[in-house]
Amino acid sequence: MTATGGPLAGVKVVELAGLGPAPFCAMLLADLGADVVRVDRPGAGAADDLLNRGKRSVQVDLKHEQGPQAVLALAQEADVLLEGLRPGVTERLGVGPGQCWELNPRLVYGRMTGWGQEGPLAHTSGHDVGYVSLTGMLHLIGRRDGPPQVPANLLGDFGGGAMYLAVGVLAALLEARVSGRGQVVDAAIVDGTAHLGTMLWGFFGTGGWSTERGTNLLDTGAPYYDVYETSDGGHMSVGALEPKFYAELLDKLELTGKVPDRDDATKWQKLREIFAETFKQRTRQEWTEVFDGSDACVAPVLSMAEAEQHPHMAARETLVRRDGRVQPAPAPRFSRTPNPAPGAIAAPGAHTEEVLRDWGLPQDLLDSGAMHSAPR
């Protein structure tokens, strides 16, 4: 029989409201079927943030004398607690790991920071661009003779941060079910981002990756792994690394036998000029039709506004609509325990009474004023 709640159905997660990577991790767990309760401050929180989809929200006043007790009551019933505050803040608030473990020793305590829980920069402010700068990863993104190019905040916040927090939390959750003991998961964006670069560190260590940006195989150095402008101002990406794919690229471009040897790096600039001139002869749509269904590893560069309409994206329903908004569908996919559809965005405090009831918590937490309820 096929389950419908997702592979994490039955897992309870408490998320202390924050920004960026920690909420994304909590959203991912919700997408996988976990019951995620976000703890918002009274009067705070965004009602239209997609990172709050599929969650339930309660409002807790941590300045109230019973505010910490309300969070601890949630933690006592949870499997996981996620927080993205500066090191030591939750301890000062009275809801740190040790305080939670006194009530629930099996709790996995996930901590999301940029610099980590210790180290010279642990207590300083930062953002994605700074974190990825110190790992060496930002330095390698960009064209030759140009500055490093900032990849939005995908590489650090979400790739090196949120995804590593999710993996760490799930690993600790599995271990806790064997040992009966929770632990802290210290997910630092600098650690995860450096780890993402393992293959490139391997290349670098054996002389296969130059620190001169834009001269390597995968950083636009190779003309057959790059992006080219079309006649209408659009762009096509080319990733024809393997010889057989490269041969098909030349065939589709009608350049077979007309270009220099790609294995001679001294001829790369000439080869790039030929590719650029060729791609400028047709529109992006015309080139899309030329390469459609081929193994030349060429694709149109679509905007976010266009991506939903691509036949492959549409067939897989990679992007879906809910309440009139386009958003990514849950990923990855499971054969036996499929993920639920993306849930509604949790308005701050909209589920306080519901969570108290469902998690078996005392009503007096609400009556005391430590918790607040807001209309849906």
Task: Give the C-alpha separation, 91 to 158, whole Å.
Answer: 25
**Residue 322, C-beta contacts closer than 8 angstroms, at least 6 positions apart:** 53, 341, 342, 344
Backbone torsions φ then ψ of 135, nearest 5 degrees: -85, -10
Calculate ∠ Cα 216-218-220, nearest 5°: 75
Strands 325-328 and 371-372: unpaired
DSSP string, 312-329: HHHHHT-EEEETTEEEEP
* Residue 309 three-state SS: coil
Hey, which residues are catalytic here?
Answer: 127, 157
CA distances to 244, 272, 294, 359 from 251, in Å: 11, 16, 11, 63
E-strand ranges in 46-133 read 56-60, 80-83, 108-113
